Amino acid sequence: MKTIVKCTVSFALFFLIAAGQAKADDFDVTLNTSALTGPQILAFGFVDGDASVNNSVTLSNFAFSGGNAVGPADYMGTTGVSGDLGSAVMLNDSGFTALFTETFNPGASLSFLLSTTNSFAGTTPDALAMYVCDTSLNCYSDDPSTAMLQLDLTGNPLSPSSFTLSGATDQGLPAPVVTIPGTTMTTPEPGTIFLVGSSMLLAAAGRRKRFLGFR
């Protein structure tokens, strides 16, 4: 009987510890950029939705298929962001918003590995968005938020269908493709909270351009 009790307690402790750890989910992101010419800006925004739990996003393995990153990176006066396109970009919710921008010369495509934790306190989720913009920070997207990729960290299991993906018709850009590493399937799904959060991002950065959904 004592052995059974000890095993039960051990299993309970194991699951409690596992539940308290923030598991990272990995996704490959690819965008066909062959329609773009001249320098462009790649931007990411990360919003702290609830201030109760912490999340972090790492973007790495950037490839430009004949293009290149120009640098330097600009964090637009925000905290919780580090790195650049030449190595890796790290975003966290230590501040209310984290912004990243860097110029790149487009090639046939843009690709990178996205790794994120996914903790949620049950109120407003943390949110990530990706933007592609011209050098005046006018961003390309058919979505009202001006983002091409959006992800809410709701604590539910993440998959490619968790992302909201949008093309940019005027620039001839298709929607990004999101896959689990080693696969090729993706299913875009509409709906995100980032339309509201993006306006807050720009207000915090003090920009007046039509950037990150701000009008």
DSSP string, 32-71: E-TT--S-EEEEEEEE-SSSSS--EEEEEEEE-TT-EE--
Give the whole-angstrom CA distance, residue 154 versus residue 142: 24
User: What per-residue confidence (pLDDT) applies to 172?
Assistant: 98
Give the whole-angstrom CA distance, residue 76 versus residue 101: 8
Q: Which residues of the chain have pLDDT under 70?
A: 1-23, 183-215
Q: In what order do the strands lie in the sheet with 68-69?
A: 68-69, 97-105, 40-47, 126-133, 149-153, 163-165
Give the whole-angstrom CA distance, residue 135 versus residue 119: 34
Residue type, 59: L
Peptide bond into 72 cis (omega under 30): yes
User: What per-residue confidence (pLDDT) applies to 88?
Assistant: 98
> pLDDT by residue (tens digit) across 9-54?
333 333 333 333 445 799 999 999 999 999 999 999 999 998 888 9
User: What per-residue confidence (pLDDT) applies to 23?
Assistant: 59
Give the whole-angstrom CA distance, residue 172 versus residue 33: 9
Q: Which two tokens stand for residue 28?
A: 């490959």
